[in-house]
Chains A and B, each alone.
Chain A
């Protein structure tokens, strides 16, 4: 489906220290790597609802770390040094808009003509074609002369991602994958969580955040678009003692939402020990 090489660097932009992805291409790239993230923005098509959201995509810290790890060796983007002056950019923007206006007014005229043509021909197919044809030609010529495309009807784009030619040159800095997005110490990604995330992702599972289920990750057997989550992963280090009540409460919660609770304990050599709790059925 989307088999771009993983050498494609993903442009992560930090907003309030949260890693956000903006460009569709980047979103596709991370999804093709099985990283789901979470959409935060309003959907352009129908903005006033929360059922389906749009860009930007917020990455989990683990996802960000994984991306960084995978792409550390990849040849990243080189900055092309196109730091056009602001004045030129404003000029460019105005010219673009003017060109867009001209093109759109041609399109609008054509649109109007074809609509007129359709209306005339469909309603007068049987009656005297000659006279009608003359009238049609007259109407079309009149339209050609008098048509003006109002400026307010000009369709303009409210860009989602910052355009490449936008005036903000620092945008391109983060595109270089060989430059870490953030230093390791800046990331407060828990090592245990990351190890579990990496292991589960490595086994082909899709993961999302499971805060509302009282766990660390929700584990999906396939793309979350099509599949329900099977597990609630709770990261517990191997030698950490867990209170019985805590254990029971996560297990109870898991059974209530028809998911299995996985206690994930990262081992020494990158392996993870998975344990699940089940009611024995004995009375």
Chain B
């Protein structure tokens, strides 16, 4: 190129084409980069400094002016397809095919940034209209806002030169927030999963519901897909509800359809539907129903008459019951007590809380309700007042679970530290920030599969020093989109690229447990 410089600049038409002999000579040129010596602190106009600067500049220009010369046999040929903004290979791909490019309709293609990088590496010759494209053509034709911007390509090239595998990030390949909520596996087996879920709607699988499936079922309930056709779904061991309560619960169940307390009510409503015979006898006078007292000395008959058939469910027939066998087992002897003992017993009886005088107990209409009451009271006695726990808002801590002070303080602290993903799913998408690349580590190249790249090492978001810093909202959104893969911000400043990440930070607490 030196000879060109001598020509008149006004008239010269510029090109940097090498002559055949230059091309031939270039085959044996050095691949080494000259080492840069220690820099000086201040220019002192010494000859020594001037000489060294001269030498550095000479090296610099020889490196910069060097053209890429490759043997034709080592070059992969390709053509640029402007309409699709991709590059189609015309000759068999090289080693790069393991990590770059894609096949479609029996042809091999490269994305523009991949093609440009390979051109820069001297591996690829791209032709357009039967003429080879220069690197400059590549930059100007391949890089655009519809493909990859110059800024993004700078980051792409930087990472590729370091050996990383870099792929474009495809937001649609990420599971939706709904799928993520269900903790479903990756998209590949999503269809299969859906089939499984349908099967799980059948009554028989009720007990084997996994958490995710249960959740999905519930979601379906919410969406009105489920119309109570699977009333058998409930476990058999569910406590029986009396016919009287069934009426109210039925009402609740029907109102649940309109979107109220749909879940609990649904369960009970289904259960009541399950007792077909109890529907007719809606009211019972419990005072008139006699329960036999086998321990009573007055009772002399050895046989119990059969109970009133109207009290029995269905076609159940109960005959006369011989209780003499049972009576033999009961200790019928009168308890002999000393006067002192009798006194004490009397006092105790006076103090004793008569279960039948308890209003709440009296309000119980059946054993199930009484049991529930007992459970509620038992809970309260154990230090966990049940009424605080059966509503939507519950206490911050269950006193039955002892935890260290530090943890407790952390638990009850009203202003909690949040993590990046918290509330991120509620945020609306914005187009200001987006993830550009999936990055895989260089050591994964050997067994890297394009069809199954696995989890990326990190995801790149490209921005410039001139632009704004991402706000918390953007960081949250990107973190959510990326899932458990770290989002790295590649900040390009002119030629320099710096990489930053925003990480959750757990503040240390100094409470001794």
Contacts and interface: CB of A to CB of B under 8 A. Distances in A.
A256 interface: no
A104 B23 contact: yes
B149 interface: yes
Interface in B134-187: 134-137, 139-140, 143-145, 149-151, 154, 157-158, 161-163
Contacts of B24: 103-104, 107-108, 155
Given A90-B130, A152-B73, A158-B70, A56 B136 contact: yes
B316 interface: no
B495 A168 contact: no
Looking at chain A's contact residues, the main secondary structure is loop
Contacts of B69: 155-158
A78 B10 contact: yes
A24 B64 contact: yes
Interface residues of B, number: 84
Contacts of B158: 50
A156 B23 contact: yes
Contact of B40 (A11, A15, A25, A226): A226
B68 A44 contact: yes
B129 interface: yes
A107 B140 CA distance: 36
Interface residues of A, number: 85
B132 A86 contact: no
A167 B72 contact: no
B131 A167 contact: yes
B125 A158 contact: yes
Interface in B94-127: 117, 119-122, 125
Nearest to B162: A50
Contacts of A15: 139-140, 143, 150
B49 interface: yes
B73 A162 contact: no
A263 B285 CA distance: 95
A237 interface: no
Interface in A1-35: 1, 4, 7-8, 11, 13, 15-16, 18, 20, 22-25, 27-28
A15 B134 CA distance: 14
Nearest to A165: B15
Interface in A142-184: 150-168, 175
Contacts of B29: 45
Given A16-B149, A168-B137, A155 B9 contact: no
Nearest to B52: A226
Interface stretch (B54-62, B230-238, B326-334, B417-425): B54-62
B380 to A, nearest CB: 56
Contacts of A99: 20
A49 B18 CA distance: 25
A43 interface: yes
A93 interface: yes
B418 to A, nearest CB: 26
B61 A28 contact: yes
Contacts of A242: none
Contacts of A227: 39-43
A158 B122 contact: yes
B407 interface: no
A234 B64 CA distance: 31
B494 interface: yes
B280 interface: no
A243 B491 CA distance: 25
Interface in B31-84: 31-33, 36, 39-43, 49, 52-54, 56-57, 60-61, 63-75
Nearest to B144: A16
Interface in B13-33: 13-18, 20-21, 23-24, 26-27, 29-33
A8 B12 CA distance: 11
A103 B135 contact: no
Given A24-B1, A86-B129, A158-B119, A48 B161 contact: yes
Contact of A155 (B71, B151, B494): B71
Contacts of B53: 222-223, 225-226
A265 interface: no
B404 to A, nearest CB: 39
Given A48-B161, A157-B17, A227-B39, A53 B495 contact: yes
Nearest to B36: A225
Contacts of A51: 33
A104 B24 CA distance: 6
A40 B143 CA distance: 14
Contacts of A90: 129-131
B61 A24 contact: yes
21 contacts: A16-B144, A16-B145, A16-B151, A23-B16, A24-B16, A25-B5, A42-B161, A43-B63, A44-B122, A45-B32, A46-B32, A47-B122, A107-B20, A154-B72, A155-B24, A156-B75, A158-B119, A161-B14, A161-B134, A163-B134, A211-B491
Given A107-B20, A159-B136, A227-B39, 20 more contacts: A16-B143, A16-B145, A40-B495, A41-B135, A42-B120, A42-B121, A42-B161, A44-B67, A49-B161, A52-B33, A53-B495, A54-B63, A157-B18, A159-B134, A159-B135, A165-B13, A166-B134, A221-B43, A225-B36, A225-B56
Ranked nearest first, the 3 interchain pairs of A and B with the lowest CB-CB distance are A152-B73, A38-B495, A211-B493
